[in-house]
Structure 1
Amino acid sequence: MTVQPQKRRPPTERHRTERHRTERDRSGGEHAPPPGWAIAGTGSYLPGRPVASDELSRSLGLDPSWIEGRTGIRHRHVAGDGQAASDLAAAAARRALDDAGLDPGDLGLIVLGTSTPDELGPSTACRVQALLEARHAAAFDVAAACTGFVYGLQAAVGWLCTQRGSSPYALVIGVEVYSRFLNSGDRATAALFGDGAAAAVIGPAPRPYGIGPVTLGSDGTRAGDVLIPAGGSRAPASLDTLAGLGHTIHMDARAARDFITGILPRLVAEASAAAGIKPADLALVVPHQPNPRLVASLAGEAGLEPGQLAIAGQDVGNIGAASLPYALDAALRTRGVQAGELVLLAGFGAGLTWGHTLITWPPA
């Protein structure tokens, strides 16, 4: 069944005390060492009713078991009329803030990853800032497709490390409303994508806990593997782009599969080697999961046991930049993570882009 996170930590004074202490430390008080940065709370939101894969398979003229058998996806959610990316993002953000015991006014920064913004400009993060009434927060988007959450983490941690006199809390969101950009007759994309949002609050943590170095990469020579070709400055909207379905997702399915098959084991190996550990030492590996069955099948090649992978895509499909943080949120609420355990986030997507970071999980 679909994971709809309900369990929330009650607000406490711990996070507010940390905020005041960190503000003092960053101003030079008592010459304290700089803090680490960790995930203080998570939340997610799925819109509308779930659309079952057997229902979608029939609409594509396929055997009812075709989609689930090849992808593991049982259902996905579709945003309702009038629901934009910012609406989903704000709902997930409120849950993450509640989980962290914070208010929107405690935020200094909002970073949002998406490929399906409310509009080409302004940034959807600014729409979310207004919806949350997070008046003290700067806000901007990152465009790194399904790796957007990991790229957003790097932006947030970098900002937190360099700001002076600002709040030591940042919000990182991944959100997609892919249903508005699908060709309903294209089984390669219609079978995979869904709508959803997930968010994480980043705040101070005592050393050695927290988010480790974030490693990012790109290969722009393969930007054509997955893209929405029309609607930008290269191919502005026109009658021809509309007739040619240029505003829908186009994907080279074989190229995408080959990329996934190679990149996940590579990210696990690189992160483990950089930290001087073995993949078996990881308590949890949270990957992007455009095809959850394929991703789960790569555990052995990555040196992992199946139980180390946090797989939640069967409940939501590919929700792009929200996929990884949704799986993290679901894992935290269903299996939990203990203080000191190692959690690897491994993102990859169109661009091509990829990134990983190893988190030493902080005490609750």
Structure 2
Amino acid sequence: MTTRAVVAGCGHYLPDRIVENAEFEKTLDTSDEWIRARSGIERRHFAADGQTTSDMAARAARAALADSGRTPADVDAIILATSTADLTFPSAATMVQAELGMTGGFAFDVQAVCAGFVYALANAHALIVSGQVNRVLVIGAETFSRIMDWTDRSTCVLFGDGAGALLLEAQAGTGDVSDRGVLSTDLHSDGRHRDILYVDGGVSTQSTGHLRMQGREVFRHAVEKLADTAEAALGKAGLTGQDVDWVVPHQANIRIIQGTARKLGLPMERVVVTVQDHGNTSAASIPLALSVGQARGQIRKGDLLVTEAIGGGLAWGAVVLRW
């Protein structure tokens, strides 16, 4: 028998404030048509004043627990993927732990920007299959609206806030690709490309920064690297693109999503797309898309999924799992 890290529940949270593209026309030289044509984004959610990443993460976690029928007392660990934690320390994950009323187990943050949830999922999988824990809440949550330069039309229209969460739990499998749960992971990074996507400030530089991006360079790396990592993860599991029921990509830009699907040889009808409603929510985008995809009835128990993401670092990776 093989131990698998199986999705027992999922959930998400989006702030109440919805910002349509037209709102940016008041302050920037841009338009709804321009934003849609270049990104596929129509609207996004922004956190309320005083609303934090850990607050949104806790709400998504509660939704995932409710979906699974579990309680916080059943959880052994929390891994929170975020680049926009509430404080320098402690971790936002420990704040979620406290908010949920968990007095046992452990919690920590993972910072791999938009690839953060893939990294967190890989870590949760490793903890479960090694026998260290039985259940892990894996959360992606971001308040990117707090690091935007509102004069830069090339970046500030692209991002949104939100959170998504999965509860993974140990279950016995047969060891073949028919098992539910995580079947393979594939992670990469290359720090030589730091300057094409970064925030120009931080604690050790004693400055407050904003997101900076070279969009064309990011696009060039994204399509190639996302397709390659997805194929690598599928290969590790002994699968191909033709075995996939759904691609659930990082929701950064519709053109990147379409380009990656083409390279994988998959039609867009087999891709879960939410970027039009959420914008790029960085580490939150994949769990948000998983939760929305399940709620829509697209993703069903037993479906084979591949999910992939790339973010600042550059950091990128993919996970293959059966729902």
TM-score by length of 2: 0.94
Aligned mate of 1:118, from 82, 86, 111: 86
- In 1, the alpha carbon distance for the partners of 2:294 and 2:248 equals 11
Aligned mate of 2:116, from 139, 148, 173: 148
Corresponding residue of 2:185 = 214
1:236 aligns with 2:215: no
Deviation at 1:212, TM superposition (A): 1.4
Work out whether residues 81 and 116 of structure 2, in 8 Å CA contact, stay in contact via their aligned partners in 1: yes
Name the count of aligned residue pairs: 318
Over 3 Å counting, the alpha-carbon distance change for 1:157 and 1:265 in structure 2 is closer
Runs (5+) with no aligned partner, structure 2: 174-178
Corresponding residue of 1:271 = 233
Aligned mate of 2:150, from 184, 202, 224: 184
- In 2, the alpha carbon distance for the partners of 1:57 and 1:286 equals 31
- In 2, the alpha carbon distance for the partners of 1:145 and 1:98 equals 27
Amino acid at match of 2:181: G
Corresponding residue of 1:99 = 67
Superposed CA RMSD = 1.6
SS of 1:99's equivalent in the other structure is helix
Work out whether residues 241 and 266 of structure 2, in 8 Å CA contact, stay in contact via their aligned partners in 1: yes
Work out whether residues 54 and 65 of structure 1, in 8 Å CA contact, stay in contact via their aligned partners in 2: no
Q: State the percentage of identical aligned residues.
A: 37
Bigger proportion of residues as strand: 2
Work out whether residues 129 and 170 of structure 2, in 8 Å CA contact, stay in contact via their aligned partners in 1: no
Deviation at 1:206, TM superposition (A): 3.3
Deviation at 1:339, TM superposition (A): 4.1
Work out whether residues 52 and 76 of structure 1, in 8 Å CA contact, stay in contact via their aligned partners in 2: yes
1:224 aligns with 2:192: no
Corresponding residue of 1:157 = 125
Corresponding residue of 1:169 = 135
Corresponding residue of 2:51 = 83
- In 2, the alpha carbon distance for the partners of 1:231 and 1:339 equals 42
Report which stretch shifted further, 45-54 or 109-118.
45-54
SS of 2:95's equivalent in the other structure is helix
- In 2, the alpha carbon distance for the partners of 1:77 and 1:113 equals 19
Deviation at 1:346, TM superposition (A): 1.0
Computing the radius of gyration over CA atoms, which structure comes out larger, 1 or 2?
1
Deviation at 1:63, TM superposition (A): 3.1
SS of 1:190's equivalent in the other structure is coil
Aligned mate of 2:268, from 297, 306, 311: 306
1:92-122 deviation line (CA, Å, top 9, x unaligned): 1100110011111111000001111101111
Corresponding residue of 1:346 = 308
1:281 aligns with 2:243: yes
- In 2, the alpha carbon distance for the partners of 1:284 and 1:138 equals 32
- In 1, the alpha carbon distance for the partners of 2:136 and 2:156 equals 34
Work out whether residues 282 and 344 of structure 1, in 8 Å CA contact, stay in contact via their aligned partners in 2: yes
Deviation at 1:287, TM superposition (A): 0.8
- In 1, the alpha carbon distance for the partners of 2:31 and 2:237 equals 46
SS of 1:206's equivalent in the other structure is strand
Report which stretch shifted further, 132-141 or 257-266.
257-266
TM-score by length of 1: 0.83
